[in-house]
Chain A
């Protein structure tokens, strides 16, 4: 069996506004559009991945928050309605998706063997979180690839950004190893925004773009710093600066997804491609791609 590989790693933010603005048939609310800078960014990402051969999407979402270790969905067929409890007016999505339970379990087992606290989620009534769905939908709206859904272990809440990163680095290495042994080609998605300070009011309609901007200049500077580092291939520097970034930009990367992604890709020195940057109710969001399939044997 040929070795599996990560063919692309993406920072794929999940604000439900993006699906709402796209008006897919699965989502109940209807919009007049909005957040085009980011939706065009996702278009460019989809175009970039169009000819890439891959089997599975592996996604880590901060909206499946677990405090007792890292969890993996272990139910093959998941169909239900995902309603965002924060923005139920925007996101009520009827999903029908397939989980690659075999790969999920392989990552689970590998992480467990490395001493991590992990658990398979095998309750068929479980509802998939909206972060997972938004990121996967925006990257692959055809829903024709199985996914692996990984929870966000809130180790930051219990310890610190540093401890969170140590754990996510280990989870990233375990993910890469399990993928390699699986023989599968995977696209990895870190489902998070960058700066994460929301407005606390909403426009009417929510897609009124005349009111959309970053919440503060400091948030903008933090986002630009991270994007510069990603575009210049300075992954280790991102990890080094993560505590400061999380603190100053209230960054959603505190959920561990970005650190996990960088670790799984081997903390790459190759530059990432920026497909789009925009704000959503004040939060900063970048769509980035590390085209690992072009890098050759590492």
Chain B
């Protein structure tokens, strides 16, 4: 099964294009653009719409809608005089629960919500009303955590991608957001609407220029600047571009098209379609930590010193700088060794890697969690996340050596709990190295030097 993002959208959250597009030429253009985006979705083989709405803030981690049929009447807090929107949505609850589980396995605080009368936010209602009016495609909706930073938002997207791939979904990713979000603070007549200021307009135009060139990751990296320049500091920061970029693997070479850009009560409203097809011009310019597992401040409720002491992120033996040598291959992108040896050695046309585990470079954290705490008490952990991290670390070392996973010819894998972990390890293997086809030997061993469950010894052709 191979799932993927087949289209990404940026759409505005205001109710005007639903309730009264005819009152303003620009609102009608936004409505028309929404209709065009809907047609494109209908003509695709999409089987899931994923909504990340900036208008559903959350405090306790990330919340994912899991009511199969949320139904109510939505009235906007500001624009209640425009009317009400009766919504009845179809949610992919299997996906919602799987995403929630994937979030937790990647270290995020996460939960599903399924309550009669839950107030689905105006942005999600507007987007689904216009993009998927007959609920032809099931949807999933995720909140925006008010405290989350880029690393956390990136991990949120990665766990979503985990599920898309595992379930073989053809997904449309939708960020519901304004560009500049400064509205007029007084009522205006529809014909008076315009972007609030020239400065906001200029920034919006720049954002759209980047997006039309498919440079989504550049916008992601500019998000903090954009937030400072043209965003009224409402509940959440300008996070949706972080999420959307991570959903597209932080690429800069998408194919983008701006279907409309207009003002809605002064805010910058745009409908943008981003196609994953490469436009052939962009480069990945990812200059921030590409985090796979969130190890942030999720233990604030247990913040006694003893409990912090037992937090196992950096547990294990002392770390060494990799040993240098004529044929040694070392990289900062791989975890530090736990002894005096290099990451790899290049001999002739072969590369021999030292045993590679899942620890992360930098913070030494273990995706999927460690297998035990400092006292030796066993912990629950995710073997799939650990195995994925091992493969990622191998890829980074091989990149430094001028090779790649495609050239791996032989692997010896070590598992500390064959009965528990073989299945999950084998599944990730099949999705990654299994597609390359190296020979493989899998051994059960009693322990590894760090609290990890899997390690691989790899031989590669240059």
On A, residues with C-beta under 8 Å from B are 64-69, 71, 80-81, 83, 85-89, 92, 117, 119, 121-123, 125-127, 151, 154-155, 157-158, 198-203, 211, 215, 281-282
Contacts and interface: CB of A to CB of B under 8 A. Distances in A.
B202 to A, nearest CB: 19
Given A67-B78, A81-B117, A200 B187 contact: no
B185 A200 contact: no
B230 to A, nearest CB: 13
Contact of A83 (B79, B118, B145): B118
A123 B80 contact: yes
Contacts of A119: 81, 187
Contact of A66 (B77, B81, B84): B77
A92 B117 contact: yes
A157 B299 CA distance: 30
A157 B234 contact: yes
Given A87-B60, A92-B117, A158 B185 contact: yes
B300 A282 contact: yes
B320 interface: no
A255 B109 CA distance: 27
Contacts of B147: 198, 200
B314 interface: no
A17 to B, nearest CB: 12
Contacts of B297: 200
B444 interface: no
A157 B267 CA distance: 14
B300 A88 contact: no
Interface string B278-309: 00000000000000000001111110000000
B195 to A, nearest CB: 15
A295 B438 CA distance: 86
A86 B60 contact: yes
A165 to B, nearest CB: 16
A211 B59 contact: no
Given A154-B234, A282-B300, A200 B60 contact: yes
Interface residues of B, number: 43
Contact of A200 (B83, B118, B298): B298
Contacts, number: 112
Interface string B7-31: 0000000000000000000000000
Nearest to B187: A68
B39 interface: no
28 contacts: A66-B77, A68-B265, A69-B186, A69-B187, A71-B77, A81-B116, A83-B117, A85-B121, A92-B115, A117-B185, A121-B80, A121-B81, A122-B80, A123-B75, A123-B83, A123-B84, A126-B80, A127-B119, A155-B185, A157-B234, A158-B182, A200-B61, A200-B109, A201-B109, A201-B299, A201-B301, A281-B59, A282-B300
Contact of A215 (B79, B115, B143, B300): B300
A87 B59 CA distance: 9
B196 to A, nearest CB: 10
Contact of A117 (B58, B59, B186): B186
B83, B113, B117, B187, most chain A CB atoms within 10 A: B117
A158 B117 contact: no
A66 B61 CA distance: 25
Contacts of B234: 67, 154, 157
A151 B300 contact: no
Pairs A-B, 10 closest by C-beta atoms? A125-B84, A81-B117, A123-B80, A117-B186, A125-B73, A126-B75, A198-B59, A88-B115, A83-B117, A157-B232
Interface in B43-100: 56-61, 73, 75, 77-81, 83-84
Nearest to B109: A201
Given A86-B58, A123-B81, A203 B73 contact: no
Interface in B156-188: 182-187
B91 to A, nearest CB: 15
B206 interface: no
A143 B147 CA distance: 35
Given A68-B183, A127-B75, A127-B119, A157 B233 contact: yes
Nearest to B147: A200
Interface of B: 56-61, 73, 75, 77-81, 83-84, 109, 113, 115-119, 121, 143, 145, 147, 182-187, 232-235, 265, 297-302
A235 B229 CA distance: 35
B452 to A, nearest CB: 25
A67 B182 CA distance: 9
Nearest to B298: A201
Nearest to A86: B59
A66 B187 CA distance: 12
A69 B185 contact: yes
Contacts of B265: 68
A206 B81 CA distance: 38
A67, A87, A151, most chain B CB atoms within 10 A: A67
B275 to A, nearest CB: 33
Contacts of A117: 185-187
A122 B81 contact: yes
Contacts of A89: 113, 115
Contacts of A151: 77
A66 B145 contact: no
B25 to A, nearest CB: 21
A248 B116 CA distance: 38
A215 B57 CA distance: 20
B78 A66 contact: yes
Contacts of B58: 85-86
A121 B80 CA distance: 7
Nearest to A73: B80
Nearest to A80: B117
B185 A67 contact: yes
Given A83-B117, A125-B75, A201 B57 contact: no
Given A88-B115, A201-B301, 10 more contacts: A64-B77, A68-B187, A85-B58, A85-B119, A86-B58, A88-B118, A117-B185, A125-B84, A158-B232, A200-B297
B79, B80, B187, B302, most chain A CB atoms within 10 A: B80
Contacts of A123: 75, 80-81, 83-84
Contacts of A81: 116-117
A62 B105 CA distance: 35
B113 A88 contact: yes
Nearest to B234: A157
Contacts of B186: 68-69, 117
Contacts of A199: 60, 300-301
Contact of B57 (A71, A86, A282): A86
